[in-house]
Chains A and B, each alone.
Chain A
Amino acid sequence: MKSWVDISGEELPVAEVHRFLAASEGGGITVFVGTTRKLTDGKITSLLSYEAHITMAHKEMTKLVRLAGEQWPILRAVLLHRTGDVLVGEASVIVGVATAHRAASFEACRYLIDELKKTVQIWKKEIDQDGNGEWIGDEWGTD
């Protein structure tokens, strides 16, 4: 399995992720792109600001890719997360999986994003349209 894991302050390269996965020559590619949502429970968000314990988060993301590779026959996997301010509509996270067949691709992709949200050492602050911010995350293991 080839993998691409990164945490970056730059805009995430969706098209490059697809190219990387397509080079596997597998038959099933799933790409999940998590973006900043404008409306949450009637409240308008203007941006999300992300902060990471970079070394721990990178190690954890690498571990999740390895664990996914033990459960599904993955040809290539991508796990990218952005830090800093992410405006509405921009991507904060990309999960990509290439496999021979679609079922494994969907399942592994779902596993990676669900586990990332539970365990990777990254935090987000929601900033509303008035500039007020709130850190998200009250308990471990939830998403």
Chain B
Amino acid sequence: MIITLRLFSVLREAFGTANAEVEVEDGTTGAELVEILALNNEVAAKLKTVIKLAVNDDYVDSDCILKEGDEVALLTPVSGG
């Protein structure tokens, strides 16, 4: 299935894109998605313990099962203000 990945700040720079369509196996969880992304990306690997996931603009638990067409945002600790 295809999901849309949304990346910001340090992860956007690490992956070189703000939006990407990614193909993952049906039943993939949020935590599994982060693991897959961390496999080939040092920055994501370093940050994986602090990444929060949001699906379609709402935070979800890491064991949330992703669905076709989901927009999945990977959020690192915020620093606005």
- Within the complex, which residue of B8, B50, B54, B73 is in contact with A123, where a contact is CB–CB below 8 Å? B8
Interface of A, helix, strand, loop or mixed by DSSP = mixed
When chains A and B are docked, how far (Å) is the Cα of A93 from the Cα of B9?
18
**Among candidates B9, B52, B78, residue contacting A120 with C-beta atoms closer than 8 Å:** B78
**A117 contacts B57, C-beta separation under 8 Å:** no
Would A53 and B80 be within 8 Å (CB), given that A59-B57, A123-B8, A125-B9 are in contact? no
Task: For the complex, give the distance between the alpha carbons of A50 and B9 in Å.
Answer: 9
1/0 per residue, CB under 8 A from B, across A107-134: the answer is 0000001001111111111000000000
What chain A residues lie within 8 Å of B52 (beta carbons)?
A: 140
Total chain B interface residues with beta-carbon distance under 8 A: 18
The residue in A55, A121, A136 that gathers the most chain B C-beta atoms within 10 A of its C-beta is A121
Q: Which chain B residues lie closer than 8 Å to A59 at the CB level?
A: 57
Decide yes or no whether A16 CB sits under 8 A from chain B. Answer: no
B73 engages A124 (CB within 8 Å):
no
Q: Closest CB-CB distance, B15 to chain A, in whole Å?
A: 14
Q: How many A-B residue pairs have CB under 8 A?
A: 77
For window 3-46 of A, CB contacts with B under 8 Å fall at 34
| CB-contact partner of A122 in B10, B54, B78, under 8 A | B78
Would B73 and A56 count as touching, CB distance under 8 A?
yes
CA distance A56 to B77 in the complex (A): 14
Known: A51-B8, A59-B57. A117 touches B81 (CB 8 A): yes
In Å, the complex CA distance between A51 and B9 comes to 7
A142 to B73, CA, bound (A): 21
A143 pairs with B73, CB closer than 8 A: no
CB <8 Å contact, A140 and B50: yes
Flag whether A72 is at the interface (Cβ < 8 A): no
Q: Hey, which chain A residues are within 8 Å of B50, CB to CB? A: 138-140
Which chain B residues have a beta carbon within 8 Å of chain A's beta carbons? 6, 8-10, 12-13, 50, 52, 54, 57, 73, 75-81
- What are 22 pairs between A and B in contact, CB < 8 Å? A34-B81, A51-B9, A53-B54, A56-B57, A56-B75, A81-B81, A116-B81, A117-B78, A117-B79, A121-B78, A122-B79, A123-B10, A123-B79, A123-B80, A135-B9, A135-B79, A137-B76, A138-B50, A139-B50, A139-B77, A140-B50, A143-B81
